[in-house]
Amino acid sequence: MQDFAVIQNEGTEKTVPSRRKNPAIVAVLIGCVFGAAVVHGQMRGDTRPAEQVFKNITALKGIPADEFMSTMGFFSASLGFSCVNCHGRDSGGDWSKYAEENDIKRKSRGMIAMVNAMNKNFFGGRRMLTCYTCHRGTSLPETTPDLTQFYATLRYREPDQMVSPFPGAPEAGEVINKFLNSIGGEQKAATLTSVVAKGTYQPYGVPTKYAMDLYAKAPAQRTLIVHDLAGSDVVDTFDGREAWISESPQLAPLPFLERSGEDVDAARLFAAMTFPGQIKTLLTQWRPGGPALIDDRDVTMVQATINGKVPVNMYFDDESGLLTRIVTYVDSPVGLSPTQVDYSDYRELGGLKVPYKVIATWLDGKSTIQLTEIKANVPIEASKFARPAR
């Protein structure tokens, strides 16, 4: 038996390209890559009950509106569905169609009630079962064991909770110090105070690469602008305290979405990683993880947390020491939603190595950012992080 994990960026067994080609999810694509965030509880998100924002909400009454969309993403990933599979083909171009009643919605409400009842009656109210427990990316749960799953190469299961330190693994501090040295040294990393970048943004399954601008100031102010996406700019901003995404009504049911809850914890992590000199103070509860493979390269996983609730799994290339992947989770009313961000194409920038390519993958989307120009430690106007008039 193998004593290491095997991970691949591409080639999942079941793919549903239509799920990620729907332009209606582009807003979520933006938010997961450079998601704005603050410490949990400091954010004024859209905490109105979902039924006050959306129409025909029954089984999910009472959950915050900003959690409602991530819940839809959890359903999408669990069943391998796109938006139109549940809401009807006409919903692809008309948000009003999402509220119309149909048999799939009625069935889904019954399934939500079933899962809630099982967790309550058999597990003391703990979330031990979710949609994904049975469906695993298919509309109909499989009932017959698949022998190929038992005798195939050991498959790696990303840990979704803090685990015991891996025996014999290098200390977490040793791995982090190697990373900081590999990019130019801890002192040099601390000198990076601002970033202005240009590049392209490409949603999964879409041939177009959209122009984008990025503005960031240490420790965690950041604005990402994707231009002319479906005829409108999408702006994702974290001003140091609060975060929001603004876009065209054609792209999202909430053209202005303030972010809150654990979503901002994960987003804060990815925004702050623009300035990697903060890594030692940004995360806590460091512990060594096990060896793994990413695209046939040996890596070491180090685990930490940003909020004490969910883990942050960080993968560092054994040879170069560079950070290659971060995986973390956001809680939703129906289950944990993972986000994976891959870093590559490291280049020199004023004595530091920084990634020019970032690929983000989450439950209902995937996107690729390719930076073409980065300027370090240049002045940035405060207006770049200002809240837009509404």
Instruction: Please check the confidence at residue 352 and state whether its pLDDT lies above 90.
Output: yes
**Higher-scoring residue by pLDDT: 306, 256:** 306
- Give domain limits for the chain: 18-25+45-146, 172-385
**What are 277-305's pLDDT values in tens digits?**
999 999 999 999 888 889 889 999 999 99
- 29-38, 149-158, 168-177, range with the lowest pLDDT: 29-38
**Quick one: pLDDT at residue 171?**
94
Domain 18-25+45-146 CATH superfamily: Photosynthetic Reaction Center, subunit C, domain 2 (1.10.468.10)
**What are 1-31's pLDDT values in tens digits?**
223 333 334 333 333 333 333 333 333 333 3
Distance from C-alpha of 374 to C-alpha of 390, rounded to nearest angstrom: 31
Distance from C-alpha of 176 to C-alpha of 106, rounded to nearest angstrom: 50
Angle at 16 between CA 337 and CA 332, to 5 degrees: 15
**Quick one: pLDDT at residue 27?**
35
The SS3 of residue 207 is coil
Distance from C-alpha of 297 to C-alpha of 390, rounded to nearest angstrom: 48
Instruction: Please check the confidence at residue 33 and state whether its pLDDT lies above 80.
Output: no
Which of 51-60, 201-210, 228-237, 246-255 has the highest average model confidence (pLDDT)? 201-210
**Quick one: pLDDT at residue 59?**
87
Domains 18-25+45-146 and 172-385 share a fold: no
Alpha helices in the chain (DSSP H): 17-21, 26-33, 50-53, 65-79, 83-87, 103-123, 131-135, 147-151, 172-183, 186-190, 262-272, 279-282
Distance from C-alpha of 213 to C-alpha of 166, rounded to nearest angstrom: 40
Distance from C-alpha of 301 to C-alpha of 129, rounded to nearest angstrom: 27
Which pLDDT band holds residue 311 (cuts at 50, 70, 90)?
very high
Structure tokens at 337: 């939603």
Closest CA to 128 of 102, 161, 80, 170: 161
- Crossing angle between the packed helical segments 65-79 and 262-272, to the nearest 10 degrees: 80
The SS3 of residue 126 is coil
* Whole-number average pLDDT of the chain: 80
Count the helices and strands in the chain (H runs, E runs): 12, 14
Closest CA to 265 of 243, 236, 286, 280: 243
pTM of the model: 0.73
Q: What is the assigned CATH class of domain 172-385?
A: mainly beta
